[in-house]
Structure 1
């Protein structure tokens, strides 16, 4: 499956999780989509996803902002989809690049209400990130080609939860050539644990059969996206995290997997289970369900990793 198609499906899935949650928090919300010199086909996918959720929007006001340049057919395409949306949804299609987002979001009254911003090919300037951060809660998906890590800018902007991943085709080489690789580099930033977990689950669902690469992995080797990935690499990372910072709860290790690696929370649970079975870590209490409050400690001498 082409990576562009995966991105469109990822956005649709994220909306399926985000919009119902927004409905429970407020009577209004904003979805902002911005594209810098790239195909804005994701906007079509987003509006179709909203149309599928139309029956839930009664009494709720959703504003959709679309900023794009270079796609002359976009207004007509979106207009056809907009005609199928309920009156509670307002769509504004504007020419321009993501640099105009701060002004557009302020004009739309997005501050203080649920806000999901998707910026494709955008320069993550402090002004853009601050505008995206103004939602309550605020979710931001940045997508770009291979390049510098996006996490430092998102951390500086005050997003409490940030994750990065690099999506490549299944045919990508096991070790990318010098100078990078193909595919898309994405970062998701949020103030909601639930949104972060929904993003990871959606990413793994739509990217099945493709490969993910951890931007923080110095080896730069992508791994296959499958239902139950090899727990070894994540187990070694979690063991290293315990060595760095001492004992941690299962909840803390799951969050580390969500934010610091491309893996899901469920993958962390499997990895911890493997570490316990191998004797590489111990748990307190020793018996019972592996709940979030169970404390995991690296075994003396480091034990074998899963």
Structure 2
């Protein structure tokens, strides 16, 4: 009897797709800068990263882009123009310029890794924890954490942290654009209802609607622009999802708006 091929880990599939999508955007940004950048891989996706970098082969020779592989040998072949080195542990990583670090299944990591100009972190863990709080405490103020929930209930946490809200917006766009892998749904760790949401470019917005109602109640009144900022920084959703959630809340009579008619704009005021 032929042996069955091992079943792919759905958590790892989503992690890989999100990372590769964001790494493509990050590399394009780095190669437009004179400062260059460094990618730190502490996981199993160095070969995937090399494939991304290989797509920029015509630009690598004229720019400074390095890769640091932690705890294992670097894959071969290495794209021409890419600087590669290996270190034994995360504590050995020293980067002064722009950096994106991928930490997969890492129980602990040095806070110094996140303390640097233009440093960013993609972190995954099978264990729940204060990942969001720790990343913010390390100096990265724009953070999203999302639970990846499999059909059997197994959950991994995927987090991204940056000091640039524009990069957070880019990451969230990639988060919702991944293939709809069977067996994985998203959950906002801060959603008290723990609602599971299918991966989609047009996701279910009920958890966001509840979060916005709570925020408006706390503030008393808010502009749509303020609530879009809240959505970006405090939920798993994109800023542009805010209008859809608020439109449903207005239609249900859960909030009022000023002006009462017309489309919701950034200046529209929403009140309980």
Bin of the TM-score, shorter chain as denominator length:
0.7 to 0.9
Judge conservation of contact 1:208–1:226 (CA < 8 Å) in 2: yes
Aligned residues: 262
CA RMSD of aligned residues (A): 2.3
Does 2:270 match 1:297? Answer: yes
> 1:15 matched to which residue of 2?
23
> 1:270, 1:147 → 2: CA distance?
30
Q: Of 53, 58, 64, which aligns to 2:67?
A: 64
Deviation at 1:287, TM superposition (A): 5.5
> 2:122 matched to which residue of 1?
141
Judge conservation of contact 1:146–1:182 (CA < 8 Å) in 2: no
Judge conservation of contact 1:280–1:298 (CA < 8 Å) in 2: no
> 2:93 matched to which residue of 1?
104
> 1:131, 1:279 → 2: CA distance?
47
Alpha carbons of structure 1 residues 216 and 43: separation in structure 2 relative to 1, 3 Å: same
| Residues 237-296 of structure 1: CA deviation (Å, up to 9, x unaligned) | 10111111233332332232233222222322211222233343344455565443x143
Specify every segment of 5 or more residues in structure 2 that has no aligned partner in the other structure, as ranges.
1-7
> 1:47 matched to which residue of 2?
50
Judge conservation of contact 2:147–2:188 (CA < 8 Å) in 1: yes
Alpha carbons of structure 1 residues 156 and 208: separation in structure 2 relative to 1, 3 Å: same
TM-score between both structures, scaled by the size of structure 1: 0.77
> 1:90 matched to which residue of 2?
83
> 1:281, 1:53 → 2: CA distance?
48
Does 2:220 match 1:246? Answer: yes
> 2:76, 2:142 → 1: CA distance?
35
Corresponding residue SS for 1:248: strand
Specify every segment of 5 or more residues in structure 1 that has no aligned partner in the other structure, as ranges.
173-180, 300-306
Alpha carbons of structure 1 residues 53 and 269: separation in structure 2 relative to 1, 3 Å: farther
Does 2:76 match 1:79? Answer: yes
Q: Which has the higher helix share?
A: 1
Corresponding residue SS for 1:217: coil
| Residues 128-168 of structure 1: CA deviation (Å, up to 9, x unaligned) | 2322231x322111111032131121121121111110112
Alpha carbons of structure 1 residues 20 and 245: separation in structure 2 relative to 1, 3 Å: same
Judge conservation of contact 1:26–1:114 (CA < 8 Å) in 2: no
Deviation at 1:122, TM superposition (A): 2.0
> 1:118 matched to which residue of 2?
102
Alpha carbons of structure 1 residues 251 and 55: separation in structure 2 relative to 1, 3 Å: farther
> 2:162 matched to which residue of 1?
190
Does 2:128 match 1:155? Answer: no
Does 2:145 match 1:164? Answer: yes
Judge conservation of contact 1:133–1:139 (CA < 8 Å) in 2: no
Judge conservation of contact 2:143–2:159 (CA < 8 Å) in 1: yes
Q: Of 233, 254, 260, which aligns to 1:280?
A: 254
TM-score between both structures, scaled by the size of structure 2: 0.86
